[in-house]
Structures are given as structure tokens and as C-alpha cells.
């Protein structure tokens, strides 16, 4: 029996779920997550997150997919 789990991109490397990444992002910026995707940055997996606050301010955040640490946060 073949284990398809290991054949899917990123699964054996990612440590936190997309739901965990969303929770981490919301704990820093209150607002609506308008985009979240798993990507690579300098050879490591990260979640790229975009959040818009009620005031219309947009933020971009990068969360390390293995540690859950926020590695980038900037206001657009």
C-alpha cells in the first residue's frame, strides 16, 4: 500500500496547520484574512497572510510553517 501523504507537496515539511497560522495572524492583527497560502521563502516553508482591518488598513504577514513564528509583518 502506497502512502500518498508523503507524495503531496509540503506535507512532510509543514508543522502547523493553516488554521493555526490563521489564529497566529489574528492574534497579532484584528481583521479579516483576505489571503493565506503556503509558500517557500529562502528554502523554508512559510504562510503568506494578508489581513485587512475594519479601518481598511492592509497588513502582510509571513509565518514560519515549522515554528509558527512571525518572520515578517508590514503595513501596506
Task: Encode pLDDT of 14-34 as tens digits.
Answer: 489 999 999 999 999 999 999
pTM summary value = 0.79
- Cβ atoms within 10 Å of 71's Cβ, excluding its own: 14
Ramachandran region of residue 56, left (φ > 0), alpha (ψ -120 to 50) or beta? left
**C-alpha span between 21 and 23 (Å, rounded):** 5
Instruction: Please name each of the domains of the chain with its CATH number.
Output: 4-75 (3.10.450.40)
* pLDDT < 50 positions in the chain: 1-7, 14
pLDDT at 76: 87
Amino acid at each position: 500500500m502506497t502512502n500518498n501523504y508523503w507524495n503531496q507537496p509540503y506535507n512532510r515539511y509543514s508543522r502547523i496547520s493553516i488554521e493555526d497560522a490563521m489564529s497566529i495572524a489574528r492574534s497579532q492583527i484584528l481583521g479579516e484574512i483576505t489571503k493565506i497560502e503556503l509558500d517557500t521563502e529562502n528554502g523554508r516553508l512559510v504562510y503568506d497572510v494578508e489581513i485587512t482591518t475594519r479601518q481598511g488598513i492592509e497588513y502582510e504577514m509571513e509565518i514560519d510553517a515549522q515554528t509558527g513564528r512571525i518572520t515578517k509583518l508590514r503595513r501596506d
